Structure 1
Amino acid sequence: MGNDNGVRIVSATAVVGALVYGVLGLGDTAVLQVPWWPVVRLGASVVAGVCGVVVLVAALRARDRRAGAFGVAVLAFALAWFVPGALATALYWVPPAALVAFGVLTVRGLRGPQRAFGWIVTIAAALWFVASLLTQTVPPPSTAQEVLVVVYAIPGLLQAVAFLAAAVLVAVPLLRVVGRGAGALWSSAEVR
């Protein structure tokens, strides 16, 4: 019983970390001109960083490579906000790579809808990596404001897709409990 509760707690913290960076990815695409956005991003990174530490420690204790890859992705993204200079730049490239590893391990180890979500995470994270690399190295096709907004929104959108699909995958232990409860309610219902 205690082990099940521990798994659910780690799953809940992983969901929070994934949702934080999924929502921040969407926010980066839509809220580029709001002056308080960096403060929100900083606070959210602190919360996600704590979640990343919890998931990573639990993954190391359980020797779970899949959870470890996810914990590394969340923790590296959080640390990229707090370390200076070249280390922050290097840490920025770790989350998409770790999410690709998370997705590949999911695809290799699971079946059904979880495998489909693993593919979504893998493809979105790989495209996020490529889009980020291109936006930082290749000049945009136009200097028109509309083009620049679209070009620089693509990595944030792919980040959101990757993390939100990962949120579904890490929520599976929580969803199983809900499914069992719904099944018990259905089987005990007098009217069907």
Structure 2
Amino acid sequence: MGNTTGVRVASAAAIVAALVFGAEGLGDAWGVLAFGPPALRLAGTVVAGVCGAVVLVAALRSQDRRAVAFGVAVLAFALAWAVPGPIGDGLYWIARAALVAFGVLTVRGLRGPQRVLGWVVTIAAALWFVVSVLTQTVPPPSTAQEVLAVVYAVPGVLQAVAFLAAAVLVAVPLLRPVGTGAGSLWSSAEVR
């Protein structure tokens, strides 16, 4: 497998993983997946975990710190769902921290729209980290069902925002050839 093909495979795997966990975050926020079919969530988590392992192996081979952080975030998040108890809880915290690291490395290393998306990932993942701590340690301000629904939906929304913005960032290697081809067509076209 050539280097370009390997980058594209890792990018595709990262996109799948980010979309799965972004969708799970939205599902948790709306209460769809939290009470929905567990087989669907299990299948998505397994697929995302395998994709995370692919990304992590490719990132370690290429020594790409951004991709390593993303691979760790996805793999830890997938494993946390399968491992009960304090180890699973620790893996959730590792996943959130690795996603923050992915965002910070993106902000530090890239420019333009990718840097803006890096800020979105960083802020959403950091807020997801903080809000998750608060929802687990601080009692909600009210026991009204509406308040509880909003309070416990916020982490899911932040998870979705962080992973969906990350999905756009990891899609760049797949979109770059499309942009190059479109630019070539545009420059060679005769406009009259």
Alignment CA distance shift 1:55-1:33 (3 Å): closer
C-alpha separation between the residues in 1 aligned to 2:114 and 2:187? 26
The aligned residue for residue 180 of structure 1 is: 180
Contact 1:52 1:75 in 2 (8 A): yes
The aligned residue for residue 112 of structure 1 is: 112
Q: Within 5 Å, give how 1:150-161 maps onto structure 2.
A: 150-161=150-161
* TM value normalised by structure 1: 0.94
The aligned residue for residue 31 of structure 1 is: 31
The aligned residue for residue 96 of structure 1 is: 96
The Cα shift of 1:5 comes to: 1.3
The Cα shift of 1:89 comes to: 1.0
C-alpha separation between the residues in 1 aligned to 2:91 and 2:35? 25
1:122 and 2:122 correspond: yes
C-alpha separation between the residues in 1 aligned to 2:38 and 2:123? 28
**Counterpart of 1:177 in 2: which secondary structure?**
helix
Q: Between the two proteins, what is the percent identity of the paired residues?
A: 75
Q: Within 5 Å, give how 1:60-79 maps onto structure 2.
A: 60-79=60-79
Contact 1:19 1:167 in 2 (8 A): yes
Q: Which runs of 5+ in 1 are unaligned?
A: none
Contact 1:127 1:158 in 2 (8 A): yes
Report the AA paired with residue 21 of structure 1.
Answer: F
C-alpha separation between the residues in 2 aligned to 1:26 and 1:165? 13
C-alpha separation between the residues in 2 aligned to 1:177 and 1:148? 46
The CA RMSD measured in Å over matched residues stands at 1.6
Report the AA paired with residue 169 of structure 2.
Answer: L
Q: Bigger shift: 83-92 or 164-173? A: 83-92
Report the AA paired with residue 30 of structure 1.
Answer: W
C-alpha separation between the residues in 2 aligned to 1:186 and 1:33? 44
C-alpha separation between the residues in 1 aligned to 2:157 and 2:37? 16
Contact 1:31 1:37 in 2 (8 A): no
The aligned residue for residue 141 of structure 1 is: 141
Alignment CA distance shift 1:74-1:144 (3 Å): same
The aligned residue for residue 12 of structure 1 is: 12
Q: Bigger shift: 7-16 or 178-187? A: 178-187
Q: How many residues align?
A: 192
**Counterpart of 2:81 in 1: which secondary structure?**
coil
Report the AA paired with residue 3 of structure 1.
Answer: N
Q: Which runs of 5+ in 2 are unaligned?
A: none
**Counterpart of 1:81 in 2: which secondary structure?**
helix
